[in-house]
Amino acid sequence: MNTSPLPHAEPRIPDNLPKHRLSVVVPMYNEAENVEPLLERIHLALGPYPWPWEVVLVDDGSSDATPMELERCAKKFGPHVRVVVLVRNFKQTAAMQAGLDAARGTVIATMDGDLQNDPIDIPRMVGRLLTEDLDLVAGWRKDRQDGLWLRKIPSRIANRLIARLTGVQLKDYGCSLKIFRASAIKNVRLYGEMHRFIPAWLATVTTPKRIAQEVVAHHPRVFGQSKYGISRTFRVVLDLVFVYFFMRYRTRPGHFFGGIGIALGGVGGLILAYMAAIKIFLGESIGTRPLLFGGFFLVIAGVQMVTSGVLAELLARVYFESGITKPYLARPTQEMSDAAGWAQHAEHAE
């Protein structure tokens, strides 16, 4: 029985698709009604797929029946549907990272679990990734089915700002439907709310020339409620500041803080030199002048910024030389060999 509310579409697999293994990663939070329809749509899209594929579903600490639905549907569809259950709600970025860590494919597709992304687009995007030798093909919801004022307009403004500051020219950073080369995305660790800026973070380990975008379908939400609101726009602005900093100064934070410190200290030094000159050569009283205090504060602030730069350099060295702690905690799952738990069309099975 087909329970998917999405319009009927025939799966289209590109000809001469290079050999690979595909993992589809789907973070889910309170999406119980969407679990089975989503899996049915994925199986419709990948049923005739010529190479091995799997689905990794991540429950991000849902408070509804999503975990039970995931387990039930995993048993129904087979061992190629794998479930990762986080012990609490760690938010979408951590859930995405958990799915990427669990994925075993050489190509990884990510998408939302709300049925607004359409897995029918996955084979075409994978074909472009492999035939054009790219590291990322990002979805572009050209005909986006969301509200104009609360979703579309803020998103357009954010997309243009992000593209301008990061240099990665994409029209839709917010689309979760993306296709990655696993060797590239597994070199990026996601924290906080970095999922919005994955293309920008990926550009720190590859070149923007290996990042492309593809127009994809976008459907209105049928079941459940959106997890996003207008407050997300303000968080995006703050996150963008951190992205800009890390893209340019991640390995040399001392240059960022030190540059500001030298500028502040230089201005403060000039002010103090001026005050000293009028005291020595003109004999004027400067003890109560606000400019004197301003000069001292600027010099002190400059010294503090330079000191912060030195500490940031030390922390950066510790970070890059030590292991990385995972930003989530998941319940133990059954270990699976690399050769087991893959779906593949019978005609192409080895």
Residue 11: predicted pLDDT: 78
Torsion of CA 337, 91, 328, 175, to 10 degrees: 40
Please classify residue 77 by burial: count the beta carbons closer than 10 Å to its beta carbon, then call 0-12 exposed, 13-18 middle and 19+ buried: middle
Residue 151: predicted pLDDT: 59
Check if the beta carbon of residue 116 is closer than 8 Å to that of residue 220.
Answer: yes
Residue 106: predicted pLDDT: 96
pLDDT at 322 over 70: no
Calpha distance 177→26 (Å, rounded): 10
- The residue ranges of DSSP E strands in the chain, in sequence order, are 22-28, 53-59, 81-85, 107-110, 136-140, 178-181, 211-215
Residue 145: predicted pLDDT: 60
Residue 226: predicted pLDDT: 60
Q: Please, which pLDDT band fits residue 9 given cuts at 50, 70 and 90?
A: confident
pLDDT at 224 over 70: no
pLDDT at 1 over 60: no
Q: What is the pLDDT of residues 17-42, one digit of tens each?
A: 999 999 999 999 999 999 999 999 99
Q: Please, which pLDDT band fits residue 88 given cuts at 50, 70 and 90?
A: very high
Q: What is the pTM of this model?
A: 0.77
Q: What is the pLDDT of residues 68-87, one digit of tens each?
A: 999 999 999 999 999 999 99
Residue 202: predicted pLDDT: 87
How many residues are given for the chain?
A: 350
Please classify residue 52 by burial: count the beta carbons closer than 10 Å to its beta carbon, then call 0-12 exposed, 13-18 middle and 19+ buried: buried
Q: What is the pLDDT of residues 153-190, one digit of tens each?
A: 666 766 677 777 777 778 888 788 999 999 999 988 88
Calpha distance 116→112 (Å, rounded): 7
Read off the pLDDT of each residue in 94-113 and give the average, rounded to a whole number. Answer: 95
Check if the beta carbon of residue 185 is closer than 8 Å to that of residue 204.
Answer: no
DSSP sequence for 292-322: HHHHHHHHHHHHHHHHHHHHHHHHHHHHHHS
Read off the pLDDT of each residue in 197-222 and give the average, rounded to a whole number. Answer: 86
Q: pLDDT averaged over the chain?
A: 84
Q: What is the pLDDT of residues 243-280, one digit of tens each?
A: 777 777 777 788 888 889 999 999 999 999 999 999 89
Q: Please, which pLDDT band fits residue 218 given cuts at 50, 70 and 90?
A: confident
